[in-house]
Each structure stands twice: as structure tokens, then as C-alpha cells.
Amino acid sequence: MHKRILVTGGAGFLGSHLCERLLQSRHDVLCVDNFFTGSRRNIAHLLDDRSFELLRHDVTFPLYVEVDQIYNLACPASPIHYQLDPVQTTKTSVIGVINMLGLAKRVKAKMLQASTSEVYGDPTVHPQPEEYWGNVNPIGFRSCYDEGKRCAETLVFDYIRQHRVAAKVVRIFNAYGPRMHPNDGRVVSNFVVQALSGRDITLYGDGCQTRSFCYVDDVIEAIVRMMATDRDTTGPINIGNPKEFTIHELAELVLELTGSKSKLVFQPLPYDDPKQRQPDIRKAKEALEWEPQVALRDGLLKTIDYFDDLLRKGCGLNAVQT
């Protein structure tokens, strides 16, 4: 059915892909973003679509609109960005979700909250199932994001129990693909931009820490499927690729695919950086009939093409050099 759908953080990496997907399904999309980390470049190709509307707005302030569904993706998601203003990051996660849940309650909209694998912290259980409560430092440099997202999940389930809001939670693991910010500090964008620029590729620690990389198209497919489930399917459900790679393996693959002569250099591991990260996706397979389809090599090729084009146009070059 045709719906009017609100996407907060809609000009960001995942948000812009989600807006695009919803428009392809013939829905009206209201994209809300304060452009702290989002970019008009990400949604420029959608602006002429009569079913697309863009609103500059910060979700820490109430929003009064009439919608059928809400995808709440608003929050800086990389350490470089969320540590620039940690207080605002926590406010975005906590006050932002309160405002979106309040809106969902008022207009009886269905809501999906984009949470994160960071709620597991530096895990002592591997791979991480949804039942694992995590190992999170509540007072560290990453806590504004980790604990903000954990509190957001608490609020979602309290609104479900107390106000019968039709809400859901997905926990997203290491998504990557076109439209990532060239200076977001995430490992895929870092390695690709450094390799294309002929600069040293920076590995933190010994490079043996692991991540599981899920291509953006697979992530969006899972998110849309989660929204389509009945109200009893609340989650949280892990969304990610269960194939685990070391950071060193990723660096070597980026060098191979770019043909770069960049050298690998090692620096100390950042404080509270997780040593392992791998999702248990049994619930996603069962509830959503979903699992990732895009292999890391194929997804990286598309990501490399995007950043190569971006750098050739001179976009983001200043960011790359900082």
C-alpha cells in the first residue's frame, strides 16, 4: 500500500539509500536531516521526484508531521563524528528517539529504530546473539554513542509495553558502500580513500581484530523487511554479515582491488575499540527470511568506484587530507 514515510537521518549514508528504496516502492518520503554528517549530495538525485520532500530539522526538537511509518536513523555513527560533540550525540540518541516515539504514538505510525552492534561493546561472547547484554564502558570516549543507543532501545521497548506503539529495533553491524563520508573514520572508507590517494594505510593495533562487513544494499533490504513484519516482531534483530575478516585481511584486499602501492602502517589501538565483531543472524534468517547476498570483494569494488569518482571530482579532498 502507498504510504507516507518519514526517514530521519535521510541524507546520510544509510538514510539516502533507504529513501531511494522507498521511492522505488512508490511511497511518499519525507527526508529529515540536520546535515551534521549527512550531505545534500547523497540525495541530490532525488530532489526532482515529486514523491520526495526534504526538511532540515534536528530530531532533538519535536517534529509535527502526519506519516504512516518512521525510520529513525538520525545519529552520527562513526567515532570521529560522534566524539566531536558527545553531549549532542547522546541527546540525538535519547531525546531524538523520545520525539520520534512520541510522534509515532500520536499519529499511530509504525516505527523502526536503527540501533547498532556497538550496544555489545567489546564483546566477551562471540559471535554476538541478540540475547547477549554486552560489555560496554559507560564512561569512556565511545560511551556517548554506545550508551545512547542502548538507552534508545530501552525507550523503544518501554513505549511498546506502556503505550502499545508499533515499534521495532534492528542492530546494524559494520555497513559499507557508496555514499559513506570520505572522512568518517570507518575502516572501509579510511582504507579505500588512503589507497586511492596513494597514502599509507593506517591499521590500529596489530590488525588482527575482526569485523563483519555488510554491503549497504543488503542492509537496506533487511531494514525494509523488518518494517514489513507484524507488530509482534519487535526485535532486536541483528543485521550484518556473519563472515568475519581481520582488519589486516581487509587492508590487503583493498590494496589488491585498487592496485595501490600504499604501505601498511600500524598505530596504537584506540581506547575501548572492540577486538571482535561478528553477528549471529539466526533471528534475521528466521523472521525476515534474509541473509547477505553481496560478497565483500563485489561490494568493495562498487565502493572503490564511488570514492574514485568522488576524488576525481575533487569532492572531499580536504577531508581526506585532515
Give the CA angle between residues 237, 157, 73 to the nearest 5°. 60
Whether the pLDDT of residue 318 is over 70: the answer is no
Indicate the range of 4-13, 51-60, 266-275 predicted with least confidence. Answer: 266-275
The pLDDT of residue 72 is: 98
Q: So where are the chain's domains?
A: 4-320
**Side-chain-side CA neighbours of residue 138 (13 Å):** 2
Q: What is the mean predicted confidence (pLDDT) over 265-280?
A: 83
The two beta strands, 210-211 and 201-204, are: unpaired
The pLDDT of residue 44 is: 96
Whether the pLDDT of residue 272 is over 80: the answer is no
Coil, helix or strand for 77?
coil
The residue ranking higher by pLDDT, 311 or 318, is: 311
Q: Which helix (H) or strand (E) holds 122?
A: none
Q: What tens digit of pLDDT does each residue of 123-171 get?
A: 999 999 999 999 999 999 889 889 999 999 999 999 999 999 999 999 9
Q: How confident is the model at residue 321 (pLDDT cuts 50, 70, 90)?
A: very low
In degrees to the nearest 10, what's the CA dihedral of 19, 54, 83, 269?
30
Do the Cβ atoms of 33 and 99 come closer than 8 Å?
no
Residues recorded for the chain: 322
Q: How confident is the model at residue 314 (pLDDT cuts 50, 70, 90)?
A: confident
Q: Which residue of the set 82, 120, 145, 215 is catalytic?
A: 145
The pLDDT of residue 322 is: 26
Mean of per-residue pLDDT scores for the chain: 93
The pLDDT of residue 320 is: 36
Within 8 A by CB and 6+ apart from 96, the residues are 8, 59, 60, 72, 74, 75, 152
In degrees to the nearest 10, what's the CA dihedral of 41, 186, 259, 208?
-170
**What DSSP letter does each residue of 176-191 carry, written as one string?**
E-TT--TTS--HHHHH
The pLDDT of residue 313 is: 82
120: annotated active-site residue: no
Q: How confident is the model at residue 315 (pLDDT cuts 50, 70, 90)?
A: low
Whether the pLDDT of residue 185 is over 90: the answer is no
Question: Any idea which fold 4-320 has?
Answer: Rossmann fold (3.40.50)
Spatial CA neighbour of 179 closest among 313, 11, 13:
13
Distances (CA, A) of 33 to 57, 233, 311, 319: 6, 28, 24, 21
The pLDDT of residue 271 is: 67
Indicate the range of 103-107, 220-224, 314-318 predicted with least confidence. Answer: 314-318
Indicate the range of 68-82, 152-166, 227-241 predicted with least confidence. Answer: 68-82
The identity of residue 106, as a single letter, is R
CA gap 190, 201 in Å, rounded? 8
Largest CA distance in the chain: 58
The pLDDT of residue 301 is: 97
Q: How confident is the model at residue 319 (pLDDT cuts 50, 70, 90)?
A: very low
